Chain A
Amino acid sequence: MRWVPLILATMAALALGLAPRAEAGDRYYYMGYGVVQVIDGDTDTIVADIPVKGAVRNVDLSADRRFLYVTTNRHLVHKVDLAHNRVVSTADVKTDGWDRVMFGFVLAPDGRTAYGAFMSRRADKGEVFIGKPVVAQFELDTGRIVRSVEVPWGVAHLVSVRDGSSIYAFGQDLYTIDTTGPELRIAATQPILDKGMNMLPFWDYTFDNGGIASMNYYTATSMGLMIVDQKTGVIDDLVLKGDPAMAYSVVLAPDRKRAWAVMDDLTEIDLASRSYLRSVPIAEGTCYGVNVSSDGRKVYVAGGGSTLTVYDAKTLKPLKVLQMASDGMDLRRVTF
């Protein structure tokens, strides 16, 4: 009988190794309302619809690239199996009688928990209680809060750095949260708003960029890019020359020498010279999300409204417009 544990462990390892993976190539995940749609990067066609409950907001990718975690309605976390294009489990962070909303979501390196920035409230006997804003670690299976640290009001986004040993929490300031001790703690605070920087960091494309978060911000006169290296935690602050382009989000080109920004226009940015190169208006209208193929040849804009437009990166001519099932929040790329 002493062989049983070994046999079971071997079977489990084999099962993991043999678990089906998504086919090789670029897959784009359109983050919609009640649905995540999968687009094949070779044919630029919709190849799967993944029903999810709620309006998608945050997304993170598991370290083994098998699962996408998709948050909806600011309180649900869906685990999506990327080989089978289906939701395999859902957790709700509304636990312990608290009604929580989550702005910002990143997976913890343990694979079992994640971090979220929460605002909370509850009612008891007709009286309303408002919880302190916190960044909290919670269980992905149950939504149960494991530990938390109070943060100033306004945290809108999280980026995990240095193998999860620190979490950057972007609000009116940037808070560095140390996760290595028994309790979470704010280890450093850097001003954002007080430096005249105004940002909406809902889109960062960390896994699409290969471990680099890219977020744009505005001062009274310029647009800037905050580029966060997840591995080192180093933040590059690039102020772009010239009148600001208006953009919700910015993704890096694979060579990391250029970037693409989107709102009403699709704009190409040269990172070395910190300048704008080209810009074209998007015929379908405002888009929230932008992404780029792994070979850099195609640029995708989507979300806001219910369209996805594919551009030739060289000519900036639209190649295709897909009508999606719903309006959307973002477009993410996973390369298998």
Chain B
Amino acid sequence: MKKKPIEALNEKAKAIERLAEGEQATAEALSQRRMPQGCTTIFDTGWETNPRPTYPVGNCQASARDFHGCVGDCWWPAQMPDGLTNHRDFDVQCPNVARDWRNLKYD
């Protein structure tokens, strides 16, 4: 039997495992399509894997210039404020990321 990569230790984690028992795959990994892969769950933008050999490889430069574009549509949702649901007025707090980033307040 294949070893599980992570193991539930507390009751909450075990409860989640019980919930997931018998669960089948519901999503298709785009990597199986042999497509350039990107950063978003909205509409795959594989082209953004910038091939230039300079830093930062595979991203906008400076990354701050891509911040608002990502926030507004909830791209990179783990790394950015979620502009579609939880931080809809993010643009008011921080209209210019390079200038206003010290104003950022989000959980």
A contact set with B: CB distance below 8 Å: 32-35, 54-55, 57, 73-74, 101, 103, 154, 156, 171-172, 193, 196, 198-200, 217-218, 220, 223, 243-244, 246, 263-264, 285-288, 304-306, 325-329
- Asked if B60 and A264 sit within 8 Å, CB to CB, the answer is yes
The CA-CA distance from A220 to B49 in the complex, in Å, is 11
* Cross-chain pair count, CB within 8 angstroms: 113
With both chains docked as a complex, state the minimum distance between the C-beta of B27 and any C-beta of chain A, in angstroms: 11
Q: Which residues of B contact A329 (CB under 8 A)?
A: 68-69, 72
- Asked if B95 and A198 sit within 8 Å, CB to CB, the answer is no
Contact of B35 among A154, A220, A246 (CB under 8 A): A220
Decide yes or no: A218 and B46 within 8 Å by CB, A73-B88, A305-B64 being known contacts: yes
With both chains docked as a complex, state the minimum distance between the C-beta of B80 and any C-beta of chain A, in angstroms: 13
Decide yes or no: A200 and B61 within 8 Å by CB, A34-B95, A57-B72, A246-B50 being known contacts: no
With both chains docked as a complex, state the minimum distance between the C-beta of A103 and any C-beta of chain B, in angstroms: 8
Which residue, A154, A156, A243, A304, has most C-beta atoms of chain B within 10 A?
A: A304
A-B interface, 8 closest residue pairs, ranked by CB to CB distance from nearest: A305-B65, A326-B95, A33-B91, A286-B60, A218-B47, A304-B65, A327-B68, A55-B72
- Asked if B95 and A33 sit within 8 Å, CB to CB, the answer is yes
- Asked if B84 and A193 sit within 8 Å, CB to CB, the answer is no
Contact of B60 among A55, A73, A196, A304 (CB under 8 A): A304
Decide yes or no: A55 and B91 within 8 Å by CB, A200-B43, A264-B50, A329-B69 being known contacts: yes
Q: Which residues of B contact A200 (CB under 8 A)?
A: 43, 45, 47-48
Contact of B52 among A154, A246, A288 (CB under 8 A): A246
B33 at interface by CB-CB < 8 Å: yes
Decide yes or no: A286 and B95 within 8 Å by CB, A33-B68, A264-B50 being known contacts: no
The CA-CA distance from A33 to B62 in the complex, in Å, is 19
The CA-CA distance from A229 to B24 in the complex, in Å, is 44
- Asked if A74 and B95 sit within 8 Å, CB to CB, the answer is no
With both chains docked as a complex, state the minimum distance between the C-beta of A155 and any C-beta of chain B, in angstroms: 9
- Asked if A285 and B65 sit within 8 Å, CB to CB, the answer is yes
The CA-CA distance from A35 to B68 in the complex, in Å, is 14
Q: Which residues of A contact B67 (CB under 8 A)?
A: 327
- How many B residues touch the partner, as a band? 35 or more
B99 at interface by CB-CB < 8 Å: yes
B8 at interface by CB-CB < 8 Å: no
With both chains docked as a complex, state the minimum distance between the C-beta of A216 and any C-beta of chain B, in angstroms: 8
- Asked if A286 and B34 sit within 8 Å, CB to CB, the answer is no
The CA-CA distance from A304 to B72 in the complex, in Å, is 12
With both chains docked as a complex, state the minimum distance between the C-beta of B75 and any C-beta of chain A, in angstroms: 10
> Considering the complex, which residues of chain B in the window 83-105 have a beta carbon less than 8 Å from any beta carbon of chain A?
83-84, 88, 90-92, 95-99
Q: Which residues of B contact A305 (CB under 8 A)?
A: 62, 64-65, 97-98
- Asked if A327 and B97 sit within 8 Å, CB to CB, the answer is yes
Q: Which residues of A contact B62 (CB under 8 A)?
A: 285-286, 305
The CA-CA distance from A49 to B84 in the complex, in Å, is 25
B77 at interface by CB-CB < 8 Å: no
Interface pairs (9), CB distance under 8 Å: A33-B96, A35-B95, A196-B34, A200-B47, A218-B46, A223-B47, A246-B48, A264-B61, A286-B66
Contact of A198 among B36, B61, B72 (CB under 8 A): B36
Decide yes or no: A198 and B47 within 8 Å by CB, A34-B92, A54-B91, A304-B69 being known contacts: yes
Which residue, B36, B68, B88, has most C-beta atoms of chain A within 10 A?
A: B68
B9 at interface by CB-CB < 8 Å: no
B20 at interface by CB-CB < 8 Å: no
> Considering the complex, which residues of chain B in the window 19-58 have a beta carbon less than 8 Å from any beta carbon of chain A?
33-36, 38, 42-48, 50-52
- Asked if A74 and B72 sit within 8 Å, CB to CB, the answer is yes
Which residue, A54, A200, A305, has most C-beta atoms of chain B within 10 A?
A: A305
Q: Which residues of A contact B73 (CB under 8 A)?
A: 57, 74, 103
- Asked if A156 and B61 sit within 8 Å, CB to CB, the answer is no
With both chains docked as a complex, state the minimum distance between the C-beta of A54 and any C-beta of chain B, in angstroms: 6
The CA-CA distance from A172 to B91 in the complex, in Å, is 29
